[in-house]
Amino acid sequence: EKQALTLMPDHQAVEGEAEPAKEVYSGAWKLNLKHGIGRQNYVGLGDYYGNWENGEKEGEGVMIYVNQDIYSGKWKNGKKDG
């Protein structure tokens, strides 16, 4: 069981259960697939911002990893291409 401390506005710490981390996408969709410009958070990996095509990273995009490494460049079929 995961516990989290939440700092309330009056600066009191309150114990509670931590919600599991979620992967979140915000951006354009086409036919129920990520398509166009969007941002995707990957739990434990990092954040991608860039172009999507048919649900895959495609074209120009930037991946910022949790260790702060950055890949900025081309993607093809969801993989780095360059």
* Residues 6-39 pLDDT 10s: 444 555 545 566 667 789 999 999 999 999 999 9
Mean pLDDT of the chain: 86
Percent of the chain with pLDDT over 70: 77
pLDDT reported for residue 19: 67
Q: What is the pLDDT of residues 4-14, one digit of tens each?
A: 444 445 555 45
User: Position 36: which residue type?
Assistant: G
Q: How confident is the model at residue 69 (pLDDT cuts 50, 70, 90)?
A: very high
Q: How many CB atoms lie within 10 A of CB 50?
A: 20
CA–CA distance, 63 with 82 (Å, rounded to integer): 13
Alpha-carbon gap, residue 43 to 4, rounded angstroms: 17
Residue 32 and residue 14: Cα distance in Å, rounded? 40
